[in-house]
Amino acid sequence: MKKLLFADQHRLASLRDQCLNSFTTIADVTRNLLSSPDFANFSDGMAASICRIMAMLPII
């Protein structure tokens, strides 16, 4: 979470992609990102990237 927030704040695309690609299920994203109070600190672009990655992940 902290690495992803850092990548977002400093516009580090490779770190952002590495962090987002580490998630394997929607449950991982929900548990680690969506349930965090820091989620509100993400930029709109990062929120869109998170939605895109969730669309490609299995629901498990």
Token representation of residue 19: 């962090």
Q: Which domain holds residue 28?
A: 2-56
Residue 20 has pLDDT above 90, yes or no: yes
Q: How far does CA 28 lie from the centroid of its chain? A: 10
Token representation of residue 16: 């952002």
Q: Whole-angstrom Cα distance, residue 48 to residue 55? A: 11
Q: Whole-angstrom Cα distance, residue 59 to residue 1? A: 20
Domain count, the chain: 1
What percent of the chain is modeled with pLDDT above 90? 87
Mean pLDDT confidence for 13-39: 93
Q: Whole-angstrom Cα distance, residue 53 to residue 2? A: 18
The per-residue pLDDT for 1 is: 84
